A = this chain, B = another copy of it.
């Protein structure tokens, strides 16, 4: 048995030193350190295909740059339509703002401000989004899969963003629930206005993600939040040898039985996680945990 070694905070301490100190600690701190260790292995293992699933309003909260940087090590990216919408908003020049979770929502509503916990955005941002989709709708009508559609948005996005980086680096973005997002609304708006139809098939991307899982010698998973991104990766892993590495960051707990809070261990019964895998469940707000973990990976 290894003894606990209390962490000592020093002046000018580096993030990597802090996380190294956490590796001798229990509770959540030890898990942060373990996650950092597993992420490093996952990124360094040439045989490993990395699946990154991101749920929650991570882009509005200020996690865009970390996701952008992590994409250099990611083979498959799955996220919500909301995150991609907020990513595109920033690409077309709009901003998210620091707000207050205790604000008067009736007042915000009158002022045209939409609230996401302690983040604000101006309702007028949707007008700019409309311009973008109006201008490029014909291009989008050609797309037959969600991935292709999202890459096309990335190609046409006016400045650096997650969508553009995925397009540039040919990282597949899967987003089965894209209709459930501002981007979905923009497409609906064009169709409803009689501008024509789309032909994006619901099941089109399944073959590709399953194929990556199926052919990978090893796979690693990183779940930032749960939701559809986690579940969509998990179901593909049923066709793999089971993930070799796993990191889950969430504040959902197992007791209510939902997929988002299910510990990675549960995946072993399904064959989604390899029985010999290295994995860790980090019970923490991702905006706190991921910068720490990734900060230690970057060293």
Contacts and interface: CB of A to CB of B under 8 A. Distances in A.
Contact of A200 (B4, B201, B270): B201
Contact of A66 (B9, B26, B191, B267): B9
B98 A177 contact: no
A45 interface: no
Contact of A288 (B11, B268, B292): B292
A289 B171 CA distance: 33
Interface of A: 1-16, 18, 21-22, 24-30, 32, 55-57, 60-66, 69, 82, 95-99, 101-103, 105-106, 108-109, 113-120, 146, 176-182, 184-185, 187-188, 191-192, 197-203, 205-207, 210, 225, 227-228, 231-232, 235, 238, 251-260, 262, 265-271, 275, 281, 283-289, 291-292, 294-295, 298-299
Question: How many copies of this chain does one complex carry?
Answer: 4
A200 B201 CA distance: 6
Contact of A18 (B108, B181, B286, B295): B295
Contacts of A97: 1-4
A66 B96 CA distance: 35
Given A4-B61, A198-B203, A251 B260 contact: no
Contact of A82 (B5, B16, B231, B295): B231
